[in-house]
């Protein structure tokens, strides 16, 4: 009987742990690793994207990792976005932008050192997908603030349309 109670307790604890939020980005990626597609983007690809799009922000990016979870229902999308927010808080990121348009969300969090932003994470969910872009960059905080001030609800819808 003691073995059954002990095994039951252990099973419940493991189940609760797997449902709990993550406390850093490494835990976040580990939790959703089997459910996601990860595409690393080297700096030359980012610079090319910047030239094609005409967006100056790309010139500051050193590298990026795109993390996509497809076919996620609304409950799973909310859970993934909640875990993402918990992870960036756990690593002392600063939430810069948090916008909502219909059922789509955009969260941008940054980490800076000495007035320069060196890490930025975008989290976007929409329709049945979640997109996380984890990027390393080097940009003065003031310049990034100007770029992020231009983000609006239409941008969220555009990103959600990309996720279709």
3-state secondary structure of 161: helix
Which domain covers residue 134, as residue numbers? 22-162
DSSP per position, 112-149: EETTEEEEEEEEEEETTEEEEEEEEEEEEHHHHHHHHH
Backbone angles phi, psi at 77, to 5 degrees: -60, -45
DSSP per position, 34-46: GGEEEEEE-HHHH
Q: Check residue 13 and give its pLDDT.
A: 41
For residue 37, tell me if it sits in a domain: yes
Q: Check residue 14 and give its pLDDT.
A: 40
For residue 2, tell me if it sits in a domain: no
Q: Check residue 82 and give its pLDDT.
A: 92
The domain total for the chain is: 1
Residue corresponding to tokens 């939790």: 31
Tokens standing for residue 144: 């990034």
Identity of the highest mean pLDDT range in 1-5, 127-131, 155-159: 127-131
User: Is pLDDT at 150 greater than 80 in this prediction?
Assistant: no
Mean pLDDT of 91-118: 86
Tokens standing for residue 157: 């819808």
For residue 65, tell me if it sits in a domain: yes
For residue 9, tell me if it sits in a domain: no
More confident residue, 132 or 9: 132
For residue 93, tell me if it sits in a domain: yes
3-state secondary structure of 164: coil
For residue 46, tell me if it sits in a domain: yes
Q: How high does pLDDT run on average in the chain?
A: 80
For residue 154, tell me if it sits in a domain: yes
For residue 6, tell me if it sits in a domain: no
Q: Say how far residue 16 (Cα) sits from the centre of its chain.
A: 23
User: Is pLDDT at 164 greater than 80 in this prediction?
Assistant: no
User: Is pLDDT at 133 greater than 70 in this prediction?
Assistant: yes
């Amino acid at each position: 009987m003691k073995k059954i109670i002990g095994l039951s307790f252990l099973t419940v604890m493991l189940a609760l742990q797997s449902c709990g939020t993550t406390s850093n980005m490494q835990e976040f990626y580990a939790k959703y690793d089997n459910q996601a597609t990860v595409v690393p983007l080297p700096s030359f690809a980012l610079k090319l994207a910047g030239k094609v799009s005409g967006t100056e922000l790309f010139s500051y990016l050193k590298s990026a990792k795109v993390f996509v979870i497809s076919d996620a229902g609304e409950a799973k999308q909310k859970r993934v976005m909640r875990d993402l927010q918990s992870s960036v808080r756990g690593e002392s990121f600063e939430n810069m932008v948090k916008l909502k348009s219909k059922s789509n969300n955009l969260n941008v969090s940054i980490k800076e050192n000495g007035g320069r932003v060196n890490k930025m994470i975008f989290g976007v969910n929409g329709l049945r997908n979640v997109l996380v872009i984890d990027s390393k960059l080097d940009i003065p905080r003031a310049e990034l603030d100007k770029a992020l001030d231009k983000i609006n609800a239409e941008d969220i819808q555009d990103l959600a349309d990309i996720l279709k």
